[in-house]
Amino acid sequence: MGARRAEAAEGVAGGAGADGGPVVTRVPLLLRGQGPVLAVVALGGVMGAAARYGASLLWPTAHGTFPWTTFGVNAVGCALMGVLMVVITEGRQAHPLVRPFLGTGVLGGFTTFSTYAVDIERLTASGEVRTALAYLVLTPVAALAAVWAGSAATRRATAAAVAVAASRRRR
């Protein structure tokens, strides 16, 4: 790629070096302006992963048994994602960093597909094939049901709150 195309694709940022001369750094075009988003996703991811780790310490799963903690964490995280979807898309206007922080960051770090896959492999390797199959099927079913339940409950609660507010205004 030619120098002009590289500059156009990357963008050029500069400043003064220690000797007072120019310092040119190349910033990928896709990352320019995305620093705050990356920061809140990273911060939220750390918080969500720490919460999931805390849950695994509070409720450890014995080897060869149904991984209830991971199952529960994924279901709760999906229910909260359903709540978040309704609040952000149907509620008040949220700050642009709320969705990446809570959705991608916190809830993305809290829920875990990788541990789900590792749990299935460990159950299968230990001869617990029925448990592995049950977990394989039940987790996505529970996750989808939890998203639906979280969003439906939030819509009902929001509608009830709007109705109460409207009745108070009529008085």
Nearest 5°: phi and psi at 97? -90, -5
Cα 21 from chain centroid (whole Å): 43
CA distance 151 to 145: 10
CA distance 9 to 112: 34
Answer positive or negative: Cα dihedral of 49, 46, 48, 99.
negative
Q: Which two tokens stand for residue 2?
A: 């030619």
For residue 54, which of 76, 37, 81 has the smallest C-alpha distance? 76
Q: Is 108 annotated as a binding residue?
A: yes
Backbone region of residue 64 per phi and psi (left: phi > 0; alpha: psi in -120 to 50; beta: other values): left
DSSP run (H or E) holding 23:
strand 22-26
Residue ranges at the known binding site for Na(+):
108, 111
Residue ranges at the known binding site:
108, 111
